[in-house]
């Protein structure tokens, strides 16, 4: 060890890294609760996801409102826009938020309200709004995917804060396996 004026000062404490705030100081009970909450959230999201774009349901719903193929062609455009541009614009804002759970909560509310509004389209007087129904549907679909894109960003940020890196694979495994079983069961129950 060097001594004297040329000696480098040795820091007494290691510098904090970004990952030092991850659940390493949490009690095992809190870490287990966070893991369970995030797993349940992902399972529910995967179960509901089967009723969306990956299936034929959303395009079929749009076909009942407008039979034009060019209108259906907007679905993938709006989908990809919602996954790319809004999360990029919101990334910094979510990063500096003190409570990231509220961004996840808000985006879930927007996703829920947009699908409730889509369901409400079938309860309105369709004769008066016939020309506007496809436009309204596409706007609500865009709101859903904008909220979903930001939701995924918020979830991944929250997961990075609450789940240690050694347990993230287990979280993905549990949510995928159980989520697939519940999604297939739900699809069979509601669509059979």
Identify the pLDDT of residue 54.
Answer: 55
Query: What are the two backbone dihedrals, phi and then psi, of residue 145, each rounded to the nearest 5 degrees?
Result: -75, -25
Give the residue-averaged pLDDT of 144-163: 92
Structure-token match 């129950």, residue found:
189
Identify the pLDDT of residue 126.
Answer: 64
Helix (H) or strand (E) holding 49: helix 28-49
What's the maximum distance between 2 C-alpha atoms anywhere in the chain? 89
* DSSP state for residue 56 in the 8-state scheme: S
In angstroms, the CA 134 to CA 28 distance is 50
In angstroms, the CA 183 to CA 192 distance is 13
**Is residue 124 pLDDT above 70, yes or no?**
yes
Per-residue pLDDT tens over the stretch 79-89: 899 999 999 99
Give the residue-averaged pLDDT of 38-48: 90
In angstroms, the CA 78 to CA 134 distance is 13
Q: Mean pLDDT of all residues in the chain? A: 82
**Is residue 1 pLDDT above 70, yes or no?**
no
Q: Which of 78, 85, 76, 83 is nearest to 54 (CA)?
A: 76
Q: Is the pTM of this model over 0.85?
A: no
Give the residue-averaged pLDDT of 130-146: 89
**Is residue 46 pLDDT above 70, yes or no?**
yes
């Amino acid at each position: 060890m060097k001594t004297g004026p040329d000696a480098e000062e040795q820091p007494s404490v290691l510098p904090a890294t970004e990952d030092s705030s991850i659940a390493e100081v949490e009690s095992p009970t809190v870490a287990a609760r966070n893991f369970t909450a995030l797993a349940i959230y992902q399972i529910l999201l995967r179960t509901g996801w089967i009723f969306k774009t990956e299936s034929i349901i959303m395009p079929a719903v749009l076909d009942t409102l407008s039979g034009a193929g060019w209108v259906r062609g907007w679905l993938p455009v709006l989908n990809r826009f919602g996954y790319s541009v809004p999360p990029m614009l919101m990334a910094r804002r979510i990063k500096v938020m003190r409570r990231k759970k509220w961004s996840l909560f808000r985006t879930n509310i927007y996703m829920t309200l947009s699908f409730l509004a889509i369901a409400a389209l079938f309860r309105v007087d369709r004769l008066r709004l016939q020309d506007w129904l496809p436009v309204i549907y596409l706007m609500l679909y865009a709101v859903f995917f904008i909220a979903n894109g930001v939701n995924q960003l918020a979830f991944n940020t929250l997961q990075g804060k609450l789940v240690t890196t050694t347990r993230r694979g287990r979280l993905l495994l549990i949510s995928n396996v159980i989520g697939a079983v519940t999604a297939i069961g739900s699809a069979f129950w509601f669509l059979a």
